A and B are shown apart, each in its own frame.
Chain A
Amino acid sequence: MISTLRWIVLVMTLCVASFAHAHKPSDSYLLLTTQSSSDDVSGHWDIALRDLELSVGIDTNRDGAITWGELRAHEDAVFGYALQRLALRADGAPCAIARGALLVDTHSDGAYAVLNFSAHCTAPPRRLEVGYHLLFDLDPSHRGLLGLTADGIARSAVLSPEQPVQEFDLKHASPWHQFFQFVGDGMHHIWIGYDHMLFLISLLLPAVLVRREGRWIPVGTLRSALISVFAVVSAFTVSHSITLTLAALGVIGLPSRWVESGIALSVLLAALNNIWPQVTRRAWLLAFFFGLVHGFGFASVLNDLGLPRDALAISLAGFNIGVELGQLTVVLIVVPLIFLLRERRFYRPAILVGGSSAIAVVAAVWFLQRALGFGLN
């Protein structure tokens, strides 16, 4: 899933990158992630399109411009070429590598293909050996920059023709490491998940106002503002925790398209409610109801991260606490700001109505994309 906002940000990065081809030597970025509880190693491998053009050949019409269509047309060849040149061994036994999605990313010197894959080992790796042989035959100055995260502990190495194989002793981390890893993931998800953030902000914006006789009036004291903030945030927390837990444990499951569309819809309705107020007294009800949908969204992220079977409760709790902490930082930044601005003449037209309108537009686009698949191929 790609949200529009993230997409816009990416387009901007692309424009910058297009005039900024550094004269950088050839590098690839290989990120491997393992959990002590799992037989699988997940991988993301960023390989420069320029290197793929010289090795595999992807510019079909040879016009010097590589399109997504051209890269996609060579998806099999690219995965085949790269994965043949990577060997992972867990405690001496080879791991079978299965390809995942092909994506795109940019580094300072241009566009990279992102090869996602997962390697299935016969047992959770205690010693992981990485054998890397990409491009060394064509360009000995090529380097593979390897980042390995095992149970949340990061290590790195540079793979070169002189040292194409690296071995890692994966000391198993304490449950606390896993716990903090998931706390970090939870916070990260809030900060990069614009949909959750915009939902929260939409609910917070009217918290420094009170509705009397069809008009918004600034609240008098910080105390009354904090009461409504507390009610909204607690309701959101309780409800998304319920569904997050139920979905993570596999008790309930919903198709991700419904969930993602539902989240977009919740942002849209929360923003519209600020423009044409319907629910004004009990905003926490809104937070509670839609929080249920957001919980399913969090659960799908947690699933993508790979839940360790032996530390399910710890990682679930860690992730949830991370989400709450991430949410708390948003509250701590937004609430003082809007409280200070609440009596300004521009607060209602520009921030409450203007801001909510902008959020509503973004949310509407998300909803169309997610529910109807517009703009996605």
Chain B
Amino acid sequence: MSLARHSRASNGAALLAGVIATAMALTTGHAAPYRPLSDEVVLERLPPALLALRQLRGTATPSIEPANLDAALASARHYVELGQTYSDPRAYGYAQAALGHWWTSDDGATPQLLVMRARILQFGHRFPQALAQLEVALKADQFQPDAWLLFASIEEVEGNLPAARAGCMKVLPMADPLIGATCVAGIGALSGRADAAEQLLAQALARPTAAGKAVQTWSWTTLAEIRARRNDIAASEVAFRQALTLEPDDVYARSAYADLLLDADRVAEARGVLGDAMQADALLLRASIAAQRNNDADASTLRADLAQRFSEARARGDETHLREQACFVLAVEQNAARALDLAQRNFNVQREPADVRILLEAALAAGQPEAAKPALEWMKTTAIDSVQLSTLAKKIADGARG
């Protein structure tokens, strides 16, 4: 699993006007406004993330300029923790507001402030800006395991594995052993050391740990993903189940487990893992793919719902869903050419195994093997162990030969 598990999508840079010619289409594209028939009609049940945010709002007041930097940081930290738990963008917005003028002003900035800014920037996939903050922070104080972990995770998402590994090495002596082991093993498995990585991680997980549930979930999911890439399905499932026993609602673990089951053509089981509460796009995407494959009654509803989410994200200039959108366009809408375009744009921003995979699949489906070249090169440089990626690469090579 990616170190940047809490990161959402991509380069928040392209945020402006002309981008949203779809804004009008989208507001006219759904049912008309209405007046409910009675006062008792429930318009909305607030999701858990919002209830938590509401409670936090009761104690913190982000709209008022914070009294001092410590207070601002404490308040921002609460919101970011909430954002990590629920993967909810609003919480990161509130965290940014909690920093007040310290979001932009470097006056009296501490390393902690820079790391907090980096965390918020990373969530919006503004990776270069986040790394710039971290660089300054770590130069000023290199004894910050959290900052090094964040640094490693961003470098990993961007596909810079040597830099990510260097970050993990800094984490190792400073953090809980399980955190260090997961960081190192996660990167190692992407760099041709899947055997050793799996062993290291399995051993670390077998030892008693003081690490919290979130860390343990992350570690189990990382192990599950390493095993999945080696096609050791039974062992991978054991690890996924461990992760979901610790944190049943974990969006990343659930969607990665669903991917494994979908790959194994166990579609109904995949839907079982996804459940009904599909708050996150990642979950809805898998549900939509599963429903389509199974000809479930709700296939078209899920598809329409997901399509609307993507068009709304596009309208605000949000490109943080390119990977999911490429998967959706390829697997559900079955438009290979468009999926390839999306997968290529996504690959420019992030390069995790899932990003490599969708680029290979889209290139193959679109009959454009040459478009897969950057992904194939990435596989060669990293020497990643992945049965799925190797199979796809072989198909592309065969196709090119034949």
Contacts and interface: CB of A to CB of B under 8 A. Distances in A.
Interface of A: 2, 6-7, 9-10, 13-14, 16, 18-27, 29, 31, 44, 46, 49-50, 53-54, 59, 64-69, 71-72, 101, 103-111, 114, 137-143, 145-147, 149, 154, 156-158, 160, 163, 166, 192, 375-377
Given A24-B309, A27-B312, A54-B50, A71 B43 contact: yes
18 contacts: A9-B31, A22-B279, A23-B88, A27-B315, A31-B24, A54-B57, A68-B36, A106-B31, A107-B308, A111-B44, A139-B94, A140-B97, A143-B316, A154-B24, A156-B20, A192-B32, A376-B35, A377-B39
Nearest to A101: B35
B344 to A, nearest CB: 25
B279 A53 contact: no
Given A27-B312, A105-B32, A145-B20, 9 more contacts: A21-B279, A22-B309, A24-B309, A54-B54, A68-B41, A109-B312, A141-B89, A158-B19, A377-B39
B295 to A, nearest CB: 19
A69 to B, nearest CB: 3
B43 A68 contact: yes
B90 A377 contact: no
B83 to A, nearest CB: 10
A106 B30 contact: yes
Given A20-B305, A50-B44, A139-B97, A145 B315 contact: yes
A137 B63 contact: yes
B318 interface: yes
A7 B34 contact: yes
B35 A109 contact: no
A140 B63 CA distance: 10
Contact of B43 (A64, A104, A138, A163): A104
Contacts of A13: 30-31
Contacts of A139: 90, 93-94, 96-97
Closest 3 CB pairs of A and B: A69-B39, A141-B93, A139-B93
Interface of B: 8, 15-17, 19-21, 23-24, 26-27, 30-47, 49-51, 53-54, 57, 62-63, 86-90, 92-94, 96-97, 103, 124, 276-281, 284, 301, 305, 308-309, 312-313, 315-318
Most chain-B Cβ atoms within 10 A of its Cβ — which of A24, A111, A149, A377? A24
A79 B318 CA distance: 28
Nearest to A143: B316
B21 A49 contact: no
Contact of A67 (B15, B42, B277, B305): B42
A134 to B, nearest CB: 13
B392 to A, nearest CB: 29
Nearest to A18: B45
Contacts of B33: 44, 46, 103-105, 114
A229 B100 CA distance: 69
Contacts of A111: 43-44
A1 B230 CA distance: 60
A120 to B, nearest CB: 22
Contacts of B277: 19
Contacts of B27: 29, 31, 46, 145, 147
B278 A140 contact: no
Contacts of B38: 68-69, 377
Nearest to A114: B33
A239 to B, nearest CB: 27
Q: Which of B50, B54, B63, B96 has its CB near the most chain A CB atoms (within 10 A)?
A: B50
B4 to A, nearest CB: 16
A33 to B, nearest CB: 11
Contacts of B53: 54
B20 A65 contact: no
Given A66-B43, A158-B19, A147 B24 contact: yes
A158 B88 contact: no
A14 B301 CA distance: 12
Contact of A105 (B17, B34, B276): B34
A325 to B, nearest CB: 19
Contact of B312 (A16, A64, A107): A107
A30 to B, nearest CB: 9
A64 B51 contact: yes
Nearest to B49: A23
Contacts of A142: 93
Given A20-B284, A147-B24, A158-B317, A138 B41 contact: no
Contacts of A154: 24
A64 B52 CA distance: 11
Contact of B24 (A49, A103, A156, A160): A156
Nearest to B282: A23
Nearest to A377: B38
B37 to A, nearest CB: 6
A65 B42 contact: yes
Nearest to B304: A16
B309 A108 contact: yes
A16 B44 contact: no
Contacts of B37: 7, 375-377
A137 B305 CA distance: 30
Chain A CB within 10 Å, residue with most, of B103, B124, B301: B301
A192 B43 CA distance: 23
A215 B103 CA distance: 81
A325 B227 CA distance: 61
A68 B40 contact: yes
A347 B284 CA distance: 42
A24 B97 contact: no
Nearest to A166: B17
